[in-house]
Each structure stands twice: as structure tokens, then as C-alpha cells.
């Protein structure tokens, strides 16, 4: 499912929920201006600044589950728009969903969320200038097995995907090589090695290097280092991935 499709499906599935009888703590812990901002626009026009305070207090001192479900499609949509750089990250969203016991929700609601998250991950790894870290893989693993996430990271499908991987491996490769890709107390060596073994990856990196060498020396140097690291892993027979 494409990300646009997944977002529209969220709005459709959760459309029955409203802000009717929405309450909030009146002891002063919630700013009246934040209450006004949340109610100032239609759902699909809300920006992160409009609901960031609400999200922190939702279900605790501001509204119930049905109210959170009302806002959830827009919260997830903005998360995708921010491409991992917003105030409300996937960690905050998963924490809230866990507190709300989302796995006990209606099956169509659970499916709509998971369809979105999978499409969001696919969008994340293929968008321009995504800053992907091992913690991101861990957050997405709240919904899917790491091997399923890694299996759709096609490094040869477009330039963005390859560039995002170069940055990811440049900053995390040494630790992964030395300790393995650790997600939730489990090591995913074989699954990560499958990324490095994708057909024509080294050829693509070589082409990318010569293109970057003329316009972006810093990026070209990162490609060179990543290429060397990959080549070393492919040649060393007793590396960590084969344990």
C-alpha cells in the first residue's frame, strides 16, 4: 500500500471518532491556549504545534481513547510529513499506543495502523535526506519484525535509498560490524548481511562515487569508506555475520 493510500485509509477507519465530551484536567497543568489551538482548525489542517501539547497529555489528563483515535490519523500523517524530524517521533507514538492497549482495538483499526507504519517505513528509507539510525529500526520493530523491515530496503531502487544507506552505514557500520545489528536484545547479522549482498550494490556505489566526486567531496568520501567496509565484510570469512 502506498503511503497516500494508507493515510486516507486511516482517516476512513477512524472517522467515527469525534471530540465529543472531551475533557481535560483543570488544575492548571494544561494551558488553555493549547486547548484553544487543538480546537482552532479542522482535523486535517492541524499542524504539529497545534497538537504536540495534547499528545503529551492524551489519555492521562486530556481526553479518552476515542478522542485520541480521532486525532491519530493526523498525528501519523504529520509524522510522515516530518520524515522522522518532528517533535512527536515514532517512540512517542508507540508509547502512547502501548498505553492505550492498541492491540486490543478493533481489527480494522489495528490493520490500518500497521498498513500505515509499513508504508511509512518504505517512505522513510526512500525519501530524500532521511536520517536513519538503528533506533529507528527498533521503533518500527514495535510493529514489524526487523527482518521484514530490512527485506524491503532495496539499495539499488533509487538514489535516495542508496544515499540513506550510505549515511546509515557510515555512522553505524563500525558498531554493527563489531557487535552486530542489535534490535531488542537480538542480533540480526544474517538479515543485515542480506542488505550488503544485494545484486550490483558495489557497482552502484562506484557509479555514485564518481558522480559525487565532482560535486560533493564529503559525500564521495563517505561512499568510499562505506564501500571499503562492505568489501572487507565480503572478503573476511570469519566476520561477525557468519557466526
Flag whether pLDDT at 46 surpasses 80: yes
Q: Are 140 and 149 in contact (CB under 8 A)?
A: yes
Give the pLDDT confidence score for residue 232 in this predicted structure: 86
Distance, in Å, from the CA atom of 167 to the CA atom of 182, rounded to the nearest integer, reads 18
Confidence of residue 138 (pLDDT cuts 50, 70, 90): very high
Give the pLDDT confidence score for residue 115 in this predicted structure: 98
Mean pLDDT of 221-243: 76
Q: Which of 70, 114, 71 is nearest to 94 (CA)?
A: 114
pTM equals: 0.92
- pLDDT tens string 7-18: 999 999 999 999
Give the pLDDT confidence score for residue 242 in this predicted structure: 47
In a domain, 134, yes or no: no
Last residue of a domain, one of 103, 127, 151: 127
Distance, in Å, from the CA atom of 229 to the CA atom of 214, rounded to the nearest integer, reads 22
Flag whether pLDDT at 88 surpasses 70: yes
One domain, residues 106 and 202: no
One domain, residues 191 and 118: no
- In the chain, what percentage of residues exceed pLDDT 70? 97
Domain, as residue range, for 96: 1-127
Q: Which of 75, 191, 96 is nearest to 137 (CA)?
A: 191
If you count them, how many residues does the chain have? 243
Q: Are 30 and 24 in contact (CB under 8 A)?
A: yes
Give the pLDDT confidence score for residue 1 in this predicted structure: 87
Last residue of a domain, one of 67, 97, 127: 127
Last residue of a domain, one of 76, 101, 127: 127
One domain, residues 123 and 148: no
- pLDDT tens string 151-184: 999 998 899 999 999 999 999 999 998 888 999 8
Q: What is the mean pLDDT of the chain?
A: 93
Confidence of residue 240 (pLDDT cuts 50, 70, 90): very low
Torsion of CA 231, 233, 236, 239, to 10 degrees: 180
Confidence of residue 28 (pLDDT cuts 50, 70, 90): confident
One domain, residues 2 and 120: yes
Please list the residues that pair with 183 across neighbouring strands. Answer: 186
Flag whether pLDDT at 239 surpasses 80: no
In a domain, 37, yes or no: yes
Confidence of residue 236 (pLDDT cuts 50, 70, 90): low
In a domain, 225, yes or no: yes
One domain, residues 210 and 118: no
- Tell me the three state secondary structure of residue 127: coil
- Tell me the three state secondary structure of residue 24: strand
* Domains held by the chain: number: 2
Distance, in Å, from the CA atom of 189 to the CA atom of 15, rounded to the nearest integer, reads 42
In a domain, 47, yes or no: yes
Q: Are 70 and 48 in contact (CB under 8 A)?
A: no
Amino acid at each position: 500500500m502506498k503511503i497516500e493510500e494508507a493515510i486516507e485509509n486511516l482517516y476512513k477507519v477512524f472517522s467515527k471518532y469525534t471530540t465529543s465530551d472531551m475533557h481535560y484536567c483543570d488544575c492548571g497543568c494544561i494551558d488553555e491556549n493549547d486547548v484553544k489551538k487543538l480546537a482552532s482548525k479542522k482535523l486535517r489542517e492541524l499542524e504539529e504545534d497545534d497538537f504536540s501539547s495534547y499528545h503529551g497529555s492524551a489519555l492521562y489528563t486530556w481526553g479518552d481513547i476515542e478522542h485520541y483515535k480521532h486525532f491519530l490519523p493526523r498525528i501519523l500523517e504529520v509524522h510522515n510529513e516530518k520524515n522522522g524530524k518532528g517533535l512527536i517521533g515514532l517512540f512517542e507514538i508507540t508509547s502512547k499506543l502501548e498505553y492505550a492497549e492498541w492491540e486490543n482495538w478493533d481489527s480494522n483499526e489495528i490493520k490500518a495502523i500497521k498498513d500505515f507504519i509499513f508504508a511509512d517505513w518504505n517512505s522513510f528509507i526512500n525519501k530524500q535526506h532521511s536520517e536513519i539510525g538503528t533506533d529507528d529500526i527498533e521503533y518500527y520493530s514495535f510493529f514489524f519484525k526487523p527482518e521484514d523491515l530490512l527485506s524491503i530496503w532495496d539499495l539499488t531502487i533509487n538514489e535516495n535509498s542508496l544515499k540513506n544507506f550510505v549515511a546509515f552505514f557510515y555512522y553505524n557500520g563500525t558498531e554493527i560490524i563489531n557487535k552486530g545489528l542489535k534490535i531488542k536484545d537480538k542480533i540480526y547479522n544474517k538479515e543485515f548481511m542480506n542488505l550488503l549482498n544485494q545484486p550490483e550494490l558495489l557497482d552502484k556505489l562506484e557509479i555514485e562515487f564518481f558522480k559525487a566526486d565532482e560535486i560533493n567531496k564529503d559525500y564521495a568520501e563517505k561512499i568510499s569508506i562505506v564501500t571499503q567496509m562492505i568489501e572487507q565484510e565480503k572478503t573476511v570469512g570469519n566476520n561477525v555475520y557468519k557466526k
